[in-house]
């Protein structure tokens, strides 16, 4: 896990002066509520507080993709340690797509703050022949498996347990695995794989449990 610096129930609780020179502020009740600060001296605090207040006044369920776990979550802010990799301008994300507790493939996010690319590899680190339709940029560098790849696979399987589907995200920072997040519907489930055939191929990995007799919905696994 990354180092947690603080948890805040409202914006006024955030003491910018007490935070380190580099940090990440996030809203736990939505997606994309991130303020990544790599030099506090250049931070416009008034603008940052306006942004955080905007986050705190939003219900992500209604504002975005109807992801039901966000519907009743209490708005909250957290501050985490700023993550950086020696010799890298931007850290790489490793996102494991797990079906019924088994990691099937991993999404690699590179150049997130410039020419954002997403590539897919199987669990033997062989590149897979599909992409996401909104991320078709070409990465010029070489993508090698991180030292922690086997450990990340094992942790992804443990965290996914018996869930029908979950994506488990990690970073590999200076040869150390750092947990990112777990999500049940990446991009609200609205991005397509290309070529088109892989939407069916990957969709067939998903095997939903049967609704128990006498119930109208699944409540446990």
Segment among 16-20, 26-30, 60-64, 90-94 with least mean pLDDT: 60-64
The CA-atom distances, in angstroms, between 10 and each of 54, 111, 136 are 11, 32, 39
Q: How far apart are CA 42 and CA 125, in angstroms?
A: 40
Are 190 and 184 in contact by the 8 Å Cβ rule? The answer is: no
Note the pLDDT of residue 121: 96
Q: 45 falls in which pLDDT band (50, 70, 90)? A: very high
Are 125 and 145 in contact by the 8 Å Cβ rule? The answer is: yes
Dump pLDDT digits (tens) for 101-112.
Answer: 999 999 998 876
Domain ranges of the chain: 4-81, 93-203
Q: What is the CA radius of gyration of the chain?
A: 19
The CA-atom distances, in angstroms, between 32 and each of 25, 125, 187 are 11, 28, 11
Q: 138 falls in which pLDDT band (50, 70, 90)? A: low
Give DSSP secondary structure letters for 102-155.
Answer: EEEEEEEEE-TTSS-EEEEE-TT-PBPS-EETTBB----S-----TTHHHHHHH
């Amino acid at each position: 896990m990354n180092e947690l610096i603080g948890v805040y129930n409202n914006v006024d609780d955030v003491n910018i002066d007490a935070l380190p020179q580099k940090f990440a502020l996030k809203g736990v009740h939505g997606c994309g509520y991130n303020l990544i600060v790599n030099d506090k001296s250049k931070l416009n605090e008034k603008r940052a507080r306006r942004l955080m207040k905007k986050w705190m006044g939003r219900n992500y369920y209604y504002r975005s993709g109807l992801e039901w776990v966000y519907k009743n979550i209490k708005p909250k802010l957290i501050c985490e340690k700023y993550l950086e990799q020696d010799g890298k301008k931007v850290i790489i994300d490793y996102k494991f797509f797990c079906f019924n507790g088994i990691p099937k493939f991993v999404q690699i996010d590179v150049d997130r703050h410039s020419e954002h690319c997403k590539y897919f590899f199987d669990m033997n680190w062989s590149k897979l022949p599909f992409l996401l339709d909104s991320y078709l940029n070409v990465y010029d560098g070489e993508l090698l498996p991180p030292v922690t790849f086997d450990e990340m696979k094992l942790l992804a399987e443990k965290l996914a347990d018996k869930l029908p589907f979950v994506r488990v995200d990690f970073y590999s920072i200076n040869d150390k695995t750092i947990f990112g997040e777990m999500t049940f519907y990446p991009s609200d489930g609205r991005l397509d794989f290309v070529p088109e055939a892989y939407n069916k191929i990957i969709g067939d990995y998903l095997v939903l449990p049967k609704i128990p007799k006498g119930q109208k919905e699944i409540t446990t696994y």
